């Protein structure tokens, strides 16, 4: 099980995500850092465990505003051995290629930002691309054919349940299980709702490869001791 800490960045600061209501996101207050500066927050998270990657959501770019490229650059300069999974509202294959020119950056293609499934077929380096299947409640956000046709999926797939982000409601095990059943060996990652070790154990039993987590790391429900059981 891979634990991937989440950094939601808006206006150059890490914000606390709650149920996908991005307009209500506010700069994070966490015992892991004295400020909401992305490098400071990431440094605090890194003290908890040996994480292979950070998931970075550039919320400004996702919503069509100027990106947080400076924050991403600063993170890359400090964390030299860590990969970054970056969702920057990519809409084209060319955009994914540009993002991946930076060292250790892997492009996350979120279906909420994609207008046409042909974008996935046009990728020239799909091995470094991660697909995020985005859901709000029961609604799939994006072209229906992406959800319906698993042959379009790259090797890594995130199931992003926005309504469960920061909610404490637990992961959507039914939906995750349905995606795993169709994934044909692809690595499926859960995003949204993980509360603690019991949820991670349930995800492991469901065949999930890893989990994107923020709140449970900041509030201490996933302690360094618990993380050592899963980070491998």
Q: Give the number of domains in the chain.
A: 1
Distance between CA 39 and CA 77 in Å, rounded? 10
Per-residue pLDDT tens digits for 142-180 = 999 999 999 999 999 999 998 777 667 789 999 999 999
Residues 6+ apart with CB under 8 A from 136: 20, 162, 163
Query: So what's the pLDDT on residue 103?
Result: 84
Per-residue pLDDT tens digits for 186-222 = 999 999 889 999 999 999 999 999 999 999 999 999 9
Residue tagged 């307009």 (tokens): 23
Range of the domain at 207: 2-230
Distance between CA 2 and CA 87 in Å, rounded? 18
Residue tagged 């634990």 (tokens): 3
- CATH label of the domain that carries residue 79: 3.20.20.70
Query: So what's the pLDDT on residue 22?
Result: 64
Side-chain-side CA neighbours of residue 202 (13 Å) = 15
């Amino acid at each position: 099980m891979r634990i991937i800490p989440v950094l939601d960045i808006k206006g150059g600061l890490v914000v606390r995500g709650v149920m996908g209501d991005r307009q209500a996101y506010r700069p994070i207050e966490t015992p892991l850092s004295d400020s909401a500066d992305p490098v400071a927050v990431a440094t605090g998270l890194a003290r908890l465990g040996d994480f292979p990657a950070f998931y970075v959501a550039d919320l400004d770019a996702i919503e069509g505003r100027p990106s947080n490229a400076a924050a991403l650059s600063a993170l890359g300069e400090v964390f030299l051995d860590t990969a970054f999974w970056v969702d920057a509202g990519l809409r084209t294959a060319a955009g994914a290629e540009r993002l991946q020119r930076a060292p250790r950056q892997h492009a996350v293609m979120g279906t909420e930002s994609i207008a046409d499934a042909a974008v996935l077929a046009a990728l020239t380096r799909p091995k470094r691309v991660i697909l995020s299947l985005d859901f709000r409640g029961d609604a799939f956000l994006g072209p229906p054919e992406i959800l319906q046709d698993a042959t379009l999926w790259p090797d890594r797939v995130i199931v992003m349940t926005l309504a469960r982000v920061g909610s404490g409601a637990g992961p959507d095990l039914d939906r995750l299980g349905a995606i795993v059943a169709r994934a044909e060996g692809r690595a499926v990652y859960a995003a949204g709702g993980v509360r603690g070790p019991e949820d991670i154990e349930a995800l492991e039993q469901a065949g999930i490869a890893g989990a994107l987590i923020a709140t449970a790391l900041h509030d201490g429900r996933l302690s360094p001791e618990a993380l050592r059981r899963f980070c491998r």
